[in-house]
Amino acid sequence: MSNETKQSKNDNDRGDLLRGALEMLILRTIEGGPKHGYAITESILNASDEVLDIDEGSMYPALYRMQKRGWIEAEWGRSDNNRRAKFYSLTDEGRTHLEKASARWGRFSRAVESVMEPV
C-alpha cells in the first residue's frame, strides 16, 4: 500500500470517528425528548462546558444522515420563541445504535486513557 493510500485511509478513519462521535452526541442529546437543531447544538455546548461547539455545517448534514438511516425522525413544530422548527426524536433503531455506539466509545476512550497514563 502506498503512503498516499495509507494517508487517505487514515483520513477516512478519522472522519468516520468524528462523524460517529457527533452522531452519538446528537442521539444522546435527544434521548430525553425531541429537540430542534439549535437546541441540540446548545445542549451539547452546555453539557461540554462550552468545549464542543458544533457548527450548522456539521449539525444539519448529520441530522439528515441519521434521519435517512432511520435513527431519528423529524416533525415540524414551534420553538420556545414561537418560530417554526423541525424537532428531531430518537427511534427504536436509533436507541439501539446509541447503545452500541456508546459501548464502542467507552472501549475506545478507555484504551486512549490507558495509553495516556503516566508510566
Please give the residue range of the domain that contains residue 74. 22-95
The pLDDT assigned to 61 comes to 94
Its pTM stands at 0.81
In a domain, 81, yes or no: yes
Q: How many domains would you assign to the chain?
A: 1
Question: With 0-12 CB in 10 A as exposed, 13-18 as middle and 19+ as buried, what is 21?
Answer: middle
Residues of the chain with pLDDT under 50: 5-11
* CB distance 36 to 88 below 8 Å: yes
In a domain, 46, yes or no: yes
* CB distance 5 to 41 below 8 Å: no
Residue with cell 503512503: 3
Rounded Cα gap, residues 70 and 57, in angstroms: 21
CATH number at residue 77: 1.10.10.10
The pLDDT assigned to 84 comes to 95
Share of the chain above pLDDT 70, in %: 84
Rounded Cα gap, residues 91 and 47, in angstroms: 22
The pLDDT assigned to 103 comes to 92
Computed over every residue of the chain, the mean pLDDT equals 88
In a domain, 43, yes or no: yes
